[in-house]
Amino acid sequence: MSGNGKALLDVREISKYFGSVIALKDVSMRCEAGQVTCLLGDNGAGKSTLIKTLSGVYRPDEGEYLFDGKPREFGSPREALELGIATVYQDLAMIPLMSIWRNFFLGSEPTRGWGPFRRYDVRFAKSKTREELSRMGIDIRDPEQAVGTLSGGERQSVAIARAVYFGAKVLILDEPTAALGVKQAGVVLRYIVQARQRGVGVIFITHNPHHGYPVGDHYVILRRGRVYGDYTKEDLGLERLVQMMAGGEELENLAHELEHAAGKAEGETSDELARAAQTLEQEAKEAKEPGH
């Protein structure tokens, strides 16, 4: 599982600027078939810019974008999609007012007939939607149901099943587990593993090391628009990852600051601040030494 296999998607030292803002600087990462690359980073680290660059929304200002070993430049997400780079966005994956089967085939509708009589093959779309979802182990009630009536986990799962069905070679998942409960997140993680087993290269963006670690093969950590670290699973235990992600050092610093403030302040407020500081210190400790 080391990085010497042939990379399906390989970006080298790409940079992206918005006016005077440096959104990405010299970012390199790769994703191989049948592997999960976890992309980790805090808010503002440049994750969304990187995702949008990988999925063809933005063009990098500098650097190289290789797919299947060939340099590429995408004018639109459609071009990336045609090569097999599919992106599932957190909130923007599905259209709530449309039925599941209409959503499943949106943008790639199967057709029947010829010329002006070419029409949407509705029967095929409905039965295929049901079939593909149950192949991924997703049990939907009724393909006519509006997507807006599904839960968040179900929506993400349908979006992943759709991307896999349409022959995604690389699947970019933008925080698919972020707004989900424990059980629902588990469901989504199972589909990520399924996609990997089918030979899809997955780029999994997450905040949560407990979601990222078990499914990931290697981990890219972004900070302030740069790659802060690139590790394989062997390099990095869950503890290290949790610590990096939870920002253990920062929590500790914050605890000290608050303690200091509590010492200066008086009366009730000082008690409250002291308690807050204690809690934070505890959290920082837990983040450093997990094992539970």
Partner 1 sequence: MATETIPPAAVPVDERVRQKSRLSKLLSRPEVGALAAVVIVWVLFALVASKHNFVSWATTASILNRAAPLGILAVAVALLMIAGEFDLSVGSILGFSGMVIMVLVTPQTGGGYGWALWPAVGVALLFAFITGMFNGALVIATKLPSFIVTLGTLFAFRGLTIAVTRLLTHRTQLGQLDSVSGYGLAKSIFASNATLFGSQFSIAILWWIGLTALATWILLRTRVGNWIFGTGGAVDAARNVGVPTRRVKIVLFMTTAFAAWLVAVIQAVQFTGSDTLRGTGQEFQAIIAAVVGGCLLTGGYGSAIGAALGALIFALVQQGIVITGVDGDWFQVFIGGILLGAVIFNNFIRRRAALR
Site residues (CB under 8 A) for partner 1? Answer: 55, 77-78, 81, 87, 89, 92-98, 102, 105-109, 111, 118-120, 122, 130-131, 134-137, 139, 141-142, 146, 148-149, 193-194, 197-198
Residue with tokens 């923007």: 92
Smaller CB separation from partner 1, 137 or 186: 137
Rounded CA gap, 224 and 264, in Å?
A: 33
Smaller CB separation from partner 1, 1 or 95: 95
Smaller CB separation from partner 1, 123 or 256: 123
Smaller CB separation from partner 1, 1 or 193: 193
- Give all strands of the β-sheet with 218-223 in edge-to-edge order: 85-88, 170-174, 201-206, 36-41, 218-223, 226-232
Which tokens hold the place of 91?
A: 């909130």
| Min CB(120)–partner 1 separation in Å | 5
Strand partners for 88:
173
Residue with tokens 């970006």: 11
Residue 24 identity: L
| Min CB(96)–partner 1 separation in Å | 7
Comparing CA positions, the residue from 140, 121, 122, 120 lying closest to residue 130 is 140
| Min CB(174)–partner 1 separation in Å | 10
Comparing CA positions, the residue from 142, 176, 171 lying closest to residue 157 is 176
| Min CB(243)–partner 1 separation in Å | 32
Which tokens hold the place of 129?
A: 């939607």
Smaller CB separation from partner 1, 193 or 234: 193
| Min CB(167)–partner 1 separation in Å | 13
